[in-house]
Amino acid sequence: MTSKSHHTHLYRSALGGFWHYLNPAAQMGIYWFLFVVVFQRQTPGLNPFLIIVTGITHYLFLNQCAIMGATSVSSREQVLLQIRLEPLLMVAVTYFELVRRLGFTLVIFALYASFMIDWTRWELLFYPLILATLLLAGGCLATISGILAVYMRDLTQIIPLVMRLGLYFSPVIYPITFIPENLVDIYLFNPIACLFTCLQWSIMDVPLPGTAHLVSMGCCILALVVATSWIYGRFAPNVTKAF
């Protein structure tokens, strides 16, 4: 189903699957132009383009999970009213399509990064763990937004705005060293900020967030999983009545 859904989204587009690279690439180009060329923000010891590529590649996945997840159940109203299916299946179809896209972009990212990254870094061993956390968070966001958007239609409008704020308030396209030192402690209590700082730490020379921040992020992820399970259990059984 994921494969067919993927095929449908790209049907008759001139560039087909290439759009999955073009869109992130265009965003990376824009941010690089703004931050590096126009504002000339310096990132001592760090490659500014690598920061942007790393951030956008991974953040786009979270962003798409929340945005596309929000329509994953409501757009399949007709099917759910005719055949008994778990709404989670509808979310899963969208989610795995996004995981597939992430896989494509990660291959390109790895090709590019292979020239920029020191592959002997031991911190790189933590990258799979960080990626797994990102995948888990993405799945939870897709499920929550998918179920709740059936009851609160405004969510489809609110989520892109929230995710855009998340992009700017987290070190996705800039390193944590851009943040004034007295604010870093508070800033890293934002779980997305902490996760992306960990991501940068695993790939390049960025300091690892403190234990308190890591514990806080772990608790937030756990809370997200619990919230997802509760929201699904509470709202999914009656989703067909809300159409």
Q: Is 79 left (phi over 0), alpha (psi -120 to 50) or beta?
A: alpha
Task: Assess contact for 199 and 130: CB atoms under 8 A.
Answer: yes
The correct pick among 4, 41, 164, 234 for binding another protein (CB under 8 A) is: 4
Binding to another protein, residues 128-157 (CB under 8 A): 151-154
Smallest separation (angstroms) from another protein to the CB of 86: 10
Smallest separation (angstroms) from another protein to the CB of 141: 19
Rounded least distance, CB 186 to another protein, Å? 31
Is the CB of residue 208 less than 8 Å from the CB of residue 115?
Answer: no
How many whole angstroms separate alpha carbon 199 and alpha carbon 62? 14
> Are the CB atoms for 32 and 172 separated by under 8 Å?
no
Q: Which stretch binds another protein (CB under 8 A): 3-11, 112-120, 168-176, 191-199?
A: 3-11
Query: Least CB distance from residue 157 to another protein, whole Å?
Result: 11
- As a whole number of angstroms, the distance between CA 9 and CA 191 comes to 32
Query: Is 40 a binder of another protein (CB under 8 A)?
Result: no
Nearer to another protein, 86 or 185 (CB): 86
Full DSSP string of 155-191: HHHHHHHHHHHHHHTTTTSS-GGGS-HHHHHHHTTSH
By CB under 8 A, name the one of 22, 26, 34, 85 that touches another protein.
Answer: 85
Residue 13 CB, shortest distance to another protein, in Å, is 11
Interatomic CA distance for residues 149 and 227, integer angstroms: 15
What is the length of the chain?
Answer: 243
Q: Convert residues 65-84 into a mask of x (bound to another protein by CB under 8 A) and - (unbound).
A: -------------xxxxxxx
Residues that bind another protein (CB under 8 A): 1, 4, 7-8, 11, 78-85, 151-154, 237-238, 240-242
